[in-house]
A = this chain, B = another copy of it.
Amino acid sequence: MKIKPLGDRILVKVVEGETKTAGGLFIPQTAQEKTQEGIVVAIGDDKDAITVKENDKIMYDKYAGTTIKIDGVEHLIVKMADILAIIQ
C-alpha cells in the first residue's frame, strides 16, 4: 500500500522528538510547538512547485497538513508552502 500525494503536496515521515534533541544541536525554542522535523517519503505530481526530493530531511510548520498513520508510523501530508527548510 502506497500513498501518492497530489499536486504540490508532500508525504513526510515524522521524526520522533528523541532523535531531534540528540546531540543538543538542534532544539526548537519558543517554537517548541511550532516546527517539526521529518523525512520526505513521496512528492506530488506538481514538479515545478516542489523543490524537495525523497529522503530530504526537512523542517515544516507543525500546524500545517494532515496527519495519517502508515503501518503504525506517523506521517503527514503537507503542501510545499509549509516546508520551511532542508536540514543538511
A contacts, CB < 8 Å to B:
1-7, 9, 11, 24-31, 34-35, 45, 51-52, 59, 61, 66-72, 74, 77, 81, 83-88
Residues in B with CB closer than 8 Å to A26 are 1, 68-70
Contact B87–A1 (Cβ < 8 Å)? yes
> Known: A6-B52, A26-B1, A29-B74. Contact between A35 and B66, CB under 8 A?
yes
How many copies of this chain does the complex contain?
Answer: 7
Residues in B with CB closer than 8 Å to A77 are 59, 84-85
- Chain A, interface SS category: strand
Residues in B with CB closer than 8 Å to A24 are 72
CA distance A86 to B5 in the complex (A): 6
For A88, the closest partner residue in chain B by CB is: B2
Contact A2–B87 (Cβ < 8 Å)? yes
